[in-house]
Amino acid sequence: MSAVVEVDSADAWEAVVSSCFVPLACNDIEPGFTGRMEHTRLDEGISVALATSSGHSSTRTARLARGAARDDLHLSLQRSSTGTVSSGSRTVAVRPGSVSVYRVDAPYLVDYSAPHQQQMLVQVSRSSMRLPSRMLDAAADRVALPRMQDSPAARVLFSYATARPDAEGPAEMATVVRDLAAVMIHSAFTSAPVTPHTTAGLRHTVRLHLRDQARDRELTMDDVAGRHGVSRRRLYQAFENSGASPAAYLRSVRLGLAVEMLSAERPPPGGITAIAYACGFNDPLTFSRAFRRAHGVTPREWRAGERPHPGS
């Protein structure tokens, strides 16, 4: 069930946050406060939300924590502004890109008193992630997990929770988000690849990797499979019902980069050959053929303004 609620008072924000997650006490609300909550409960053990607000802080008091009927963890991505998150004996500063984790059966304080706040939140049952209790405890004790820029697994989780690609419904999305949440936590404790169990989770993980590495002319599907701890066969199976193989998806990303460069007011020096190499193609002929198949014109014609009309 999804809901979008907008409020303009402290009492209303406290009620919204408490109903979407767990009961909290909101304090230090700034004058002229506004808040917006976009919340989706996927199943009884997991929900996702995008919380946008002006300055405030919220406390999960010891009394409220003692009455917790759930074993959930909050996984939070700070998308804008700054603040602090305190749990147990630790207080960590957060800024855009910071990822934090805290448990609902223990007291915590989130101080988001700076203006222009936005957090992406995943609330997930600890027991549903099938990770060792000691690992989950250690993650909560740290409070801070590796930032988005340092953790591909965090980027995968929160981008999936935001965009929800390929999900056929709440039940499937719940399974994938739970899987990716477990991968993110596990990845914080190892340097080895942690592979999602779900096909959609693996596919989304690989797609983000392909976007990041699209300019690498040496990239092979064997490299991609090895990077994610799967066989080449398993890699291709993950893309079977998506409309494009991993190699075809990589080619489409590269062609998208080429369109951006060819359409730029000032294209890079070196002409079509330089663009082909910059976009990850091994030679300009292969690039031109792929571009023509995709767009009906050559890269040179596109650059000259000879572009097909939409729908033609």
- For the chain, give the number of residues: 312
The predicted pLDDT at position 188 comes to 95
* Contacts with 246 (C-beta within 8 Å, 6 or more apart), sequence order: 206, 210, 221, 224, 235, 236, 238, 239
> Within a 13 Å sphere around the CA of 259, how many CA atoms are in the beta-carbon half?
16
The predicted pLDDT at position 166 comes to 66
Q: Provide the CA 39 distance to its chain's centre, in angstroms.
A: 16
Give residue 191's identity as a one-letter amino acid code.
S
Mean pLDDT (10-residue bins), the chain, 312 residues: 87 91 83 91 93 91 88 95 95 97 94 94 93 96 94 96 77 94 96 93 96 97 96 96 93 97 86 95 96 95 78 50
Distance, CA of 49 to CA of 161 (rounded, Å): 9
- Other C-beta atoms closer than 10 Å to the C-beta of 73 total 22
Coil/strand/helix, residue 29: coil
The predicted pLDDT at position 1 comes to 62
Contact yes or no for 60/67 (Cβ under 8 A): no
Per DSSP, helices labelled H in the chain are 10-20, 62-66, 133-142, 152-163, 170-187, 199-213, 221-227, 232-238, 246-263, 271-278, 284-295, 299-303
Distance, CA of 104 to CA of 61 (rounded, Å): 10
* Contacts with 31 (C-beta within 8 Å, 6 or more apart), sequence order: none
What is the set of domains in the chain, with CATH numbers?
A: 2-146 (2.60.120.10)
Q: Which two tokens stand for residue 220?
A: 């092979």
181 DSSP 8-state letter: H
Distance, CA of 126 to CA of 104 (rounded, Å): 10
